[in-house]
Amino acid sequence: MAANHPPTAVALSAIQAQTVLAAQAGDAEAREVLARSCQRAAFHFALHLTGHRDDALELSQDAMLRFFGSLGRFDASRPVRPWLLRIVRNLARDRSRRMRIRRVEPLDSDDGGPIVEPVDSSPTPEQMAHRSEMQRRLWSAVLELKPRHREVIALRDYLDLSYDEISEILRVPRGTVMSRLHRARSALRAALQPALRKEVGA
Amino acid sequence: MSTNCPTSFDQTMLSGYIDDELTQGEEQRVRLHLEDCESCRQMYLELTTIRETAMSTRFENPHDEQWDESPRGGISLFTRGLGWTMAVIWLASVAAFGLWHAATGPESLVEKLLIFGGITAAALLFVSVLIDRIRVSRTDRYREVKK
């Protein structure tokens, strides 16, 4: 019965707590590990909140600086991601209040190619192109959502956080997370018709 | 797009069902409802497709060297803080001088009322913002998170 099971959530959180404690003690390697494990989530969340790649990078870099600046006061028994994403959200809200976040624009990489890439292994190029088109449409629809709907979609459907984690980040009850998420998904559903209906074969 | 469920079923539960965030009883109730309700089943399938599409999306990440570039911050944060401090000191000085001048100077009653009114309004606004900030900081579980 000695199967190779993946680490459980408890084990993972214990490893993370050890990393945080080492980073708090000034271990440069632990700080590097912590940064590498979190910065992508910070960038992706910032990308959803700002809609701009450069703004997202700047926001997430700033969040990482503040994250490490306040790491000494962080309770290592708590999960890191909600804490960091809360910093990202605070920064984004603070900036949007001051400068009214620019209207979002379609995302393109520097060389003009699409930034949204399909990763599923669809067997045919047509299916891959179709999936890619759906992802692009969905992303455009997400950027048109109200900010509070956009952030909950980002946290759940793109970053795969649990309702409890989202509840911590947004400081709203769990039930509100579910209802807000449902409203956001319903708005996306309406925006993606009739393609979505065709997709599920109704 | 059929969205209207003919029953009193709470469609919000569909999102909890998709995310596996319901209690066992709630989950069973949703499952039984989906067997009978075509409009909710359609909604469930479409919402599931939205989630799967989002989950399968990958974004181009910044290169490592981009992460290592220093963001704007440091000096600009310091100058902003210094600027705000100086502005508050300046405003407080001007308000104090205005009050003193209005109290001891030869201005008419209307002029004095305008000065007192303006300064009082600014002070009330400041106090209201301060009270809100204090209230939020006391109830915020993440109050130690920098803003």
Band of pLDDT at residue A101, cut at 50, 70 and 90: very low
Mean pLDDT of chain A: 79
CB contact under 8 A, A181 and B15: yes
Share of chain A above pLDDT 70, in %: 79
Residues 6+ apart with CB under 8 A from A169: A82, A85, A86, A89, A155, A161
Q: Is residue A109 part of a domain?
A: no
Q: What is the ipTM of this complex?
A: 0.76
Residues from B contacting A (CB-CB < 8 Å) are 1, 3, 11-16, 19, 21, 42-43, 45-47, 49-51, 53-62, 66-67, 69-73, 140-142, 144-147
Number of domains observed in the structure of chain A:
2
Q: Which residue is associated with the tokens 């759940």?
A: A156
Domain holding B5, by residue range, is: 1-67
A138: exposed, middle or buried (Cβ count in 10 Å: 0-12, 13-18, 19+): buried
Chain B: residue whose CA lies nearest to A56: B62
Listed range (A11-20, A95-104, A157-166, A175-184) with the worst mean pLDDT: A95-104
Listed range (A128-142, A177-191, B57-71) with the worst mean pLDDT: B57-71
pLDDT of A136-149, one tens digit each? 899 989 988 998 99
In this structure, the answer to whether residues A99 and A119 fall within a common structural domain is no
Listed range (B34-38, B79-83, B119-123) with the worst mean pLDDT: B79-83
In this structure, the answer to whether residues B49 and B103 fall within a common structural domain is no
Mean pLDDT of chain B: 81
Q: What is the pTM of this model?
A: 0.67
In this structure, the answer to whether residues A13 and A97 fall within a common structural domain is yes
Angle between helices A125-143 and B38-55 (to 10 degrees): 100
Residue of A37, A138, A170 best to disrupt the B interface, most CBs of B under 10 A: A138
Listed range (A164-173, B75-84, B95-104) with the worst mean pLDDT: B75-84
Distance CA B59, CA A47 (A): 9
Using CA atoms of A92, A73, A37, B16 in order, give the dihedral in degrees to the nearest 10. -60
In this structure, the answer to whether residues A146 and A180 fall within a common structural domain is yes
A chain contacts of residue B55, beta-carbon cutoff 8 Å: 157-158, 160
Residue A3, pLDDT > 50, answer no
In this structure, the answer to whether residues B35 and B57 fall within a common structural domain is yes
Residue A48, pLDDT > 80, answer yes
Residue A31, pLDDT > 90, answer no
Domain holding A70, by residue range, is: 9-103
Distance CA A123, CA A125 (A): 7
Distance CA A186, CA B98 (A): 56
CB contact under 8 A, B15 and A178: yes
Give the per-residue pLDDT at A175: 93
A chain contacts of residue B14, beta-carbon cutoff 8 Å: 182
Residues 6+ apart with CB under 8 A from A91: A59, A62, A63, A66, B147
Residue A6, pLDDT > 60, answer no
Supply angle C-alpha A79, A82, A84, rounded to 5: 100
Give the per-residue pLDDT at B66: 73
In this structure, the answer to whether residues B51 and B99 fall within a common structural domain is no
pLDDT of A58-81, one tens digit each? 888 888 888 888 888 888 788 888
Q: Is residue B147 part of a domain?
A: no
In this structure, the answer to whether residues B84 and B48 fall within a common structural domain is no
C-alpha B119 chain-centroid distance: 29
Band of pLDDT at residue B144, cut at 50, 70 and 90: very low
Chain A, chain B: beta-carbon pairs less than 8 Å apart = 134
Q: Which amino acid is at B6?
A: P
In this structure, the answer to whether residues B109 and B135 fall within a common structural domain is yes
